[in-house]
Structure 1
Amino acid sequence: MAPKLRILSPKRNKRLQTGWEGFFPYYAGFPELFARELLQSAKLQSGAVILDPWNGSGTTTYAASSLGLTSVGIDLNPAMIIVARARLLPPSEADHLQPLAATIVSHAHSALPTLHPNDALLCWFKPSAASFIRGIEQNIRRSLVGSMTKSPEGVHLDRISGTAATLYVALFAVCRKLVAPFRSSNPTWLRIPKQTEARIAVSRQTVARCFEENVRDMSAALASKFDADTPRAGECEINLSDTVSMKLDPGSVDFVLTSPPYCTRIDYTAATRIELAVLGPLLSTDARALGKQMIGSTQVPGISIDIDEKWGKTCARFLETLQKHPSKASGGYYYRTHLDYFDKMSRSIGRMSEALKPGSRAVLVVQDSYYKDVHNDLPKIISEIAGRHGLSLKRREDFHLRSMSDINPGRQSYKRPSGATESVLCFAK
C-alpha cells in the first residue's frame, strides 16, 4: 500500500516567502512547504523521478532538489525557466555573485548599447533608462551565456547556468519595482502604457544600485542556506516545452506534483511582460505568440475545436451553459477560449498519464471558478478528464480561500459565493 500523503493547505502565504524564497515572488500554484511535506510523505525510492509539467517558478523542482530527489520541470514561459533555474543555484555559488555583478555594472557604464527601435523595454522606460538596463542585460549575456545556451541551432534557455539565471532574476526584480506604476488592480497583470502616458525616467546610478543591492541580498540569503546536514541536491532538469507536445518517455515518471493553469483567464505572459522584455534578445518568439500557445490563452484560437467526449459530462454541461449565457460574447469569444482551454488541458493530461509508470501517483492542485454566475467546477472536470486518460481519483482535499476574481468589479453583477475552492486531487495510475 502506498504511504498516505501529508497534505497541507496549498494556499500561498507571503509570510513564508523569506530568505532565499523571498526573491521568487511569482504567482505559484502552491507554497514550497506544501510541496516539501507532500514529497517527503510520499517516501519515494532512490532514483524515483518527479515531474511537474506546469513547473512555473519551480516550486516542485526546488522542493524535490532540496530533498535530494530527481525531478523534471516543464514550462512554456521562458521567464519562468530562468526563475526556476535560478532557484536551484547551490549555496556554494553565493560567493562570486557580487564580484560578477560589480563587473557587469562597470562594463554597462563604460559602453551603452544602441537600442533597437523595437526594444520591448521602451514600452515602459525612456530611452536613457532602457539603454542602461539593456546594457546590464547585454553584459550578463556576454559574460555568462555561452555556446550551451546559444548555439547555431538556436537559443536553449533551459540550458542556461544557474549563475546567469540568478543575475537575470536580480535584474527582473529591478524592473518589476520600477514599473510598479503600470501594475493593474489584478496583481498578476502588468499593463502596457498608453501612447500618451509618460515612460519611466530613472538614472543609471539608481538602476545600478538596485541591481547590486539585489545581488548582494541574494548572495547573503543563498549563503545562509549552507548547511552540512542538508542532503546533496537531487538532479533536476528544467525544460522549455509545451505540455501538449512535451516529449517524455512512456513509463518514465514515478510521481507528479503540479498545479495546472486555472480556468480564470489569467494571462501568464501578461504577468511576466517585463521579464520577457528583459529577455528579448534571447527569445525566438514574441509575447503575443507565446500567449497564444498558453493553456488559458485570452486569444481566440484560429482553428475550429469540437467538444471531445474525453472532457467528461461535467465539462460538456458547463460549456453548453456558457454558450447559451445571455451576457455579451458568451456564445462566441468566451466559448471558443474555453474550448481551447479544455482541448489543451485534456491533451496535456494525456501526455502526463502516458509518462507515468503503472502504480505511480499524481497530485494536482486545481481551483474552481465562475463564469459570470455559472460555476466552473474545474476540480471535478479535471478528475473526469484524468479518469478518461487512465488515472483513478483516490483522494480529494478541499480548501476554501479568497479568489482574485473577487476584486473584479464586474462580479458584483452576479450572485455567486465569494472566494474559491482549491482542491488537492490525488490520482493513481
Structure 2
Amino acid sequence: MARPLHILSPKRNKRLQTGWEGFFPYYAGFPELFARELLQSAKLPQGAIILDPWNGSGTTTYVASGLGLTSIGIDLNPVMIIVARARVLPPSEADHLRPLAATILSHARSATLTLDPSDALLGWFDPDTAAFIRGIERNIRRSLVGNMTKSPEAIHLDKISGTAATLYVALFAACRKLVAPFRSSNPTWLRIPKKTEARVAAPNITVARHFAANVRSMSAALAAKANADLLVADAARSGECKINLSDTVSMKLGVDSVDFVLTSPPYCTRIDYTAATRVELAILGPLLSKSARALGKQMIGSTQVPSAPIEVEEKWGPTCAKFLDALRKHPSKASRGYYYRTHLDYFDKMSRSMERISDALKPGANAILVVQDSYYKDLHNDLPKIISEIGEQHGLSLDRREDFHLRSMSDINPGRRSYTRPSGATESVLCFVK
C-alpha cells in the first residue's frame, strides 16, 4: 500500500523566509517546507516529472530541484519567470555576482541614457531616476541576455540565464524599496500614482547602493546555502528544472507525461496578479511583447471584463452553477453585470486549465492543489468544492482533503462590515488522483 502523503499547513510563515529564501517574498500559495514534505512523502521514482502549472515565485520547482527531481514550472507573468529562474541559480555562481554587478554599475554611471518618454518606469520615478534605473537594466540585458533569449521572432524569457535573472531580482528589490510610498492597503498591490503626485526622485548613488547591497546579500546567502548543502549527507544532486512562460489554458504538455502536480491556482478574490508586480513589469519593459494590461486580461482571476460572452457550462459542476446564479441575482451594484461576467471568465479559464492538467497526468498519478475559499459580499464562494467538482468532471477523483483556517486579506476591506460572514478563510489541500 502506498505511503500516505504528509500534508503540513500551507500557510506561509515569513519567519521561515530567511537566507536565500528571503529574497523571493512574492505572493505564493504555500511555503517551501510544505512542498518539501509533500514531495518527499510521495516517494516518486527516479525520472519522475513534477509539474506546477501556476508556478509563481517557483517554490515547487525550487524544492523539486533540491530533491533531485525533474520539474516543469509554468507561469503567465514574465516577472515570475525571472524570479523562479533566479531561485534555482546554482550555488557555484555565488562568486560571480558581485563582479558582474560592479561592472554593470560602472557602465551605467559612465553612459548617458536618453529615456524613451513612454518608458513605464516614469509612472513611479522622475526622469533622472528612471533613466539611471533603465541604464542598469540595459547593461544587465546587454551583458547577460543573449540572442537565444531575445531572438528576432520573440522574447524567450524561459531561456534567460539564472545569473541574469538574479541580477534582475536584485534590481526588482531595489526599485520596490524606492516605491514603498505607493504600496496600497492590500500588501500584494502597488498602486499607480496620480498625475498630481510627485514621482520618486532618488540620487543615482542611492539606487546604485540599493542594487549593490542586494547583490552582495544574495551572493552571501547563496554561498551560505552551498556550505549548508555540503553538510547534508546524501545531498541530492539538483534536478533538471524547466520554467516556461505560458498560459495554463493553452499550455502544451504531453498526454500522460506528468507524474505529480503540486500547485496553487489563482484565488477567486479579484486579485490582480499583474498589479502585484507593476514596477517589475516596468523594469522588464524592453523584454516584453505584451502590455501589463493585456497580460492582466489573460490572467485567471482578471479584473477586466471578458470581451466575448461566456455561458455557464455543466462541467463547472453544481456548486459553481448555484453560486453564479446567486451572484447574478444579488442586489448589490454591478453584481448582475461586471462581477458576474468576471466570475464567468474565472471559472471558464479554470475549467479549461484543469482539463489540461488532467490530460497531462499519468493514470494513477496525484495532483495536489492548494485552494482558498472566499466571499462575494455575503455569498460563500466555496472554491475548494467547486474545483473538486471541476476536477471530477475532467477525470480526476478527489482522494483526500485537508482544511486549514487562516486570516484573510479580505478582512481588511472596510466594505466587508456591511455583510454578515465569518472572518478568515479556509485554505484546502485537495489531493486528486487520476
Task: Specify the SS of the correspondent of 1:106.
Answer: helix
Task: Specify the SS of the correspondent of 1:151.
Answer: coil
- C-alpha separation in 1, matches of 2:123 and 2:68: 42
**Which of the residues 241, 244, 252 maps onto 1:239?**
244
Equivalent residue for 1:109? 109
1:187 counterpart = 2:187 = yes
Task: Specify the SS of the correspondent of 2:366.
Answer: strand
1:367 counterpart = 2:356 = no
Q: Kindly provide the amino acid, as one letter, of the partner of residue 112 in structure 2.
A: L
Equivalent residue for 2:54? 54
Which has the larger displacement, 224-233 or 309-318? 224-233
Task: Specify the SS of the correspondent of 2:80.
Answer: helix
Equivalent residue for 1:400? 405
Equivalent residue for 1:310? 315
Equivalent residue for 2:350? 345
Give % identity.
Answer: 81
Instruction: Please give the residue correspondences for 1:3-402 in structure 2 after superposition, counting only pairs within 5 Å.
Output: 3-226=3-226, 227-228=229-230, 229=232, 230-402=235-407
**Which of the residues 420, 426, 429 maps onto 1:424?**
429
- C-alpha separation in 1, matches of 2:89 and 2:22: 14
- C-alpha separation in 2, matches of 1:95 and 1:115: 32
Shift of 1:112: 2.7
- C-alpha separation in 2, matches of 1:318 and 1:70: 39
- C-alpha separation in 2, matches of 1:105 and 1:165: 16
Shift of 1:3: 2.1
Deviations 1:328-348 (A, max 9, x none): 000000000000000000000
- C-alpha separation in 2, matches of 1:112 and 1:50: 46
- C-alpha separation in 1, matches of 2:211 and 2:236: 31
Q: Kindly provide the amino acid, as one letter, of the partner of residue 336 in structure 1.
A: R
Q: Kindly provide the amino acid, as one letter, of the partner of residue 399 in structure 1.
A: F
Deviations 1:373-418 (A, max 9, x none): 0000000000000000000000000000000000001101000000
- C-alpha separation in 2, matches of 1:249 and 1:396: 28
Q: Kindly provide the amino acid, as one letter, of the partner of residue 80 in structure 2.
A: M
Task: Specify the SS of the correspondent of 1:12.
Answer: coil
- C-alpha separation in 2, matches of 1:150 and 1:163: 16
- C-alpha separation in 1, matches of 2:400 and 2:319: 19
Task: Specify the SS of the correspondent of 1:395.
Answer: strand
Shift of 1:68: 0.4
- C-alpha separation in 1, matches of 2:182 and 2:365: 45
Which has the larger displacement, 360-369 or 220-229? 220-229
- C-alpha separation in 1, matches of 2:385 and 2:346: 15
Task: Specify the SS of the correspondent of 1:225.
Answer: helix
- C-alpha separation in 2, matches of 1:381 and 1:14: 30
- C-alpha separation in 2, matches of 1:280 and 1:237: 23
Which has the larger displacement, 145-154 or 135-144? 145-154
Shift of 1:2: 2.8
Shift of 1:142: 0.1
Deviations 1:290-344 (A, max 9, x none): 0000000000000000001000000000000000000000000000000000000
- C-alpha separation in 1, matches of 2:366 and 2:186: 34
Q: Kindly provide the amino acid, as one letter, of the partner of residue 65 in structure 1.
A: S
Structure 2 unmatched ranges of 5 or more: none
TM-score relative to the length of structure 1: 1.00
Q: Kindly provide the amino acid, as one letter, of the partner of residue 8 in structure 2.
A: L
- C-alpha separation in 2, matches of 1:408 and 1:3: 43
- C-alpha separation in 2, matches of 1:3 and 1:222: 34
Task: Specify the SS of the correspondent of 1:260.
Answer: coil
Task: Specify the SS of the correspondent of 1:47.
Answer: coil
Q: Kindly provide the amino acid, as one letter, of the partner of residue 115 in structure 2.
A: L
Show structure 1 runs of 4+ deviating over 2 A: 227-230
- C-alpha separation in 2, matches of 1:99 and 1:93: 11
- C-alpha separation in 2, matches of 1:380 and 1:2: 25
- C-alpha separation in 1, matches of 2:224 and 2:273: 32
Q: Kindly provide the amino acid, as one letter, of the partner of residue 287 in structure 1.
A: A
Which has the larger displacement, 224-233 or 84-93? 224-233
Task: Specify the SS of the correspondent of 1:85.
Answer: helix
Deviations 1:160-214 (A, max 9, x none): 0000000000000000010010010000010100000000000000000110000
Shift of 1:152: 1.6
Q: Kindly provide the amino acid, as one letter, of the partner of residue 352 in structure 2.
A: R
Deviations 1:58-107 (A, max 9, x none): 00000100000000000000000000000000100000100000000000
- C-alpha separation in 2, matches of 1:87 and 1:325: 44
Q: Kindly provide the amino acid, as one letter, of the partner of residue 194 in structure 1.
A: K
Q: How many aligned positions are there?
A: 429
Task: Specify the SS of the correspondent of 2:28.
Answer: coil
Task: Specify the SS of the correspondent of 1:397.
Answer: strand
- C-alpha separation in 1, matches of 2:400 and 2:264: 16
TM-score relative to the length of structure 2: 0.98
- C-alpha separation in 2, matches of 1:194 and 1:301: 26
